[in-house]
């Protein structure tokens, strides 16, 4: 298949750590003779918090040729374990920063579709608990307005990325009450009926308990007006594709998230690949309008993508893409994505640990959603 690569880029601010490639040979020498555990310990020790506290997502780019060569050498498990360990170190560094900052009562986690916000919040909660702190995780998804009240986009479809798809006044009321230590009954959004209902789930924050809220609009100042800045710690995450050919040309930076979403929605929401592809342009327009402009408000920027993940996602994504009919208007995009996925050699899904952030999309997670 020779489908050319189509531009599929985000306006998110990110920076590729080119120094990684320059020190690759020195790094190889540094870990030579070490066991896998010793190698992981060495690499984790080199991760510094300053790389997270920037206005850009910091990431590393490894060429597809380098990745495939490592897979062919039988190093797939090593790649996965090292990547998971490095990401876990990121959670520890963020938890350290929150523990050191006095007055933090709420952590707001935002990011575009399929960044892994739900799993990120759960893993951060665990990292905070290891520091002796208590945390509770809530989702903005439960604050959606009834479906018929949802704004519509330019094509007349429901625009779930719009800020007014969220019941902003109710959220602000509950947020303020919770930070004051008051008891609140949370809403629950019933996706099959498109209705907001009372959940029967009441919550009250004990002293020294931090509230973790995740959702696409979490960094929008419209949601947190009136809350003292010192009480809020903001995090922006995204799963940027930063893969390139050996000739230095990059792939679309949003392909990871699109393929994550396609695989997840097929398994858990009974959505076809064609339906996901049809919805994606609207999702992207909403992101560019309502989410990425607030990246600069974050205290921390965190890239949740793994360099190897398309090599894992292809196992479930390719069959879905092949089912897109030949006469479907999104068949060409399906072919493009198949072309991208087929550039990667395969890493078996069973190498992913159950706590991996990718399990949110692939299934088999140790976390409940």
Identify the sign of the CA torsion 39, 41, 45, 49: positive
Residue 9 lies in a domain: no
Residue 2 lies in a domain: no
Instruction: Output phi, psi for 199, to 5 deg.
Output: -90, -20
Nearest CA to 268 out of 158, 364, 137 is that of: 364
> Distance of CA 231 to CAs 116, 120, 210, 224, 234, Å?
24, 20, 10, 11, 10
Residue 24 lies in a domain: yes
pLDDT at 344 over 60: yes
Each residue's pLDDT tens digit, 101-130: 988 999 999 999 999 999 999 999 999 999
Residue 4 lies in a domain: no
Q: What is the mean pLDDT of residues 229-234?
A: 91
Instruction: Write down the pLDDT at residue 27.
Output: 59
SS3 223: helix
Range of the domain at 354: 14-362
pLDDT at 7 over 70: no
Instruction: Write down the pLDDT at residue 275.
Output: 96
Residue 367 lies in a domain: no
Residue 6 lies in a domain: no
pLDDT band at 22 (very low <50, low <70, confident <90, very high): very low
Cα(117)–Cα(134) distance, integer angstroms:
19
pLDDT at 225 over 90: no
- Residue 259 near residue 310 (C-beta atoms within 8 A): yes
Average pLDDT over the chain reads 87
Work out how many domains the chain is built from and give that number: 1
Two tokens, residue 41:
């310990």
Residue 368 lies in a domain: no
CATH label of the domain that carries residue 123: 3.40.50.300
pLDDT band at 314 (very low <50, low <70, confident <90, very high): very high
Does this model's pTM top 0.85? My answer is yes
Q: What is the mean pLDDT of residues 329-358?
A: 95
Cα(244)–Cα(278) distance, integer angstroms:
26
Residue 226 lies in a domain: yes
Cα(367)–Cα(369) distance, integer angstroms:
6
pLDDT at 150 over 80: yes
Instruction: Write down the pLDDT at residue 240.
Output: 86
């Amino acid at each position: 298949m020779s489908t050319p690569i189509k531009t599929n880029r985000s306006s998110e601010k990110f920076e590729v750590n080119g120094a990684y490639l320059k020190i690759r040979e020195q790094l190889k020498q540094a870990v030579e003779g070490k066991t896998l555990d010793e190698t992981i310990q060495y690499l984790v020790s080199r991760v510094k918090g300053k790389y997270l506290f920037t206005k850009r997502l910091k990431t590393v780019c490894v060429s597809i040729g380098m990745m495939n060569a490592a897979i062919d050498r039988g190093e797939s498990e090593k790649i996965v374990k090292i990547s998971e360990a490095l990401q876990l170190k990121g959670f520890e560094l963020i938890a350290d920063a929150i523990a050191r900052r006095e007055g933090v009562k709420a952590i707001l986690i935002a990011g575009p579709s399929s960044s892994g916000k739900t799993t990120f919040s759960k893993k951060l909660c665990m990292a905070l608990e290891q520091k002796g702190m208590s945390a509770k995780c809530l989702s903005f998804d439960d604050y959606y307005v009834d479906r018929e009240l949802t704004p519509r986009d330019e094509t007349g479809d429901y625009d779930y990325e719009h800020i007014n798809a969220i019941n902003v006044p109710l959220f602000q009321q509950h947020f303020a009450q919770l930070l004051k230590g008051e008891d609140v009954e949370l809403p629950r959004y019933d996706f099959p009926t498109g209705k907001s209902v009372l959940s029967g789930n009441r919550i009250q924050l004990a002293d020294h308990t931090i509230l973790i809220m995740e959702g696409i609009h979490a960094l929008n100042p419209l949601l947190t007006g009136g809350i003292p800045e010192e009480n809020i710690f903001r995090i922006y995450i995204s799963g940027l594709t930063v893969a390139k050919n050996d000739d230095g040309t990059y792939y679309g930076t949003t392909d990871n998230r699109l393929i994550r979403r396609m695989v997840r929605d097929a398994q858990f929401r009974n959505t076809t690949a064609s339906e996901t592809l049809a919805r994606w342009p609207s999702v992207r327009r909403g992101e560019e309008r309502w989410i990425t402009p607030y990246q600069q408000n974050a205290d921390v920027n965190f890239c949740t993508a793994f360099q190897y993940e398309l090599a894992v996602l292809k196992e479930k994504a390719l069959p879905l893409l092949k089912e897109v009919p030949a006469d479907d208007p999104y068949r060409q995009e399906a072919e493009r994505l198949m072309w991208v996925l087929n550039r990667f050699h395969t890493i078996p899904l069973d190498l992913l640990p159950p706590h991996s952030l990718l399990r949110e999309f692939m299934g088999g997670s140790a976390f409940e959603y």
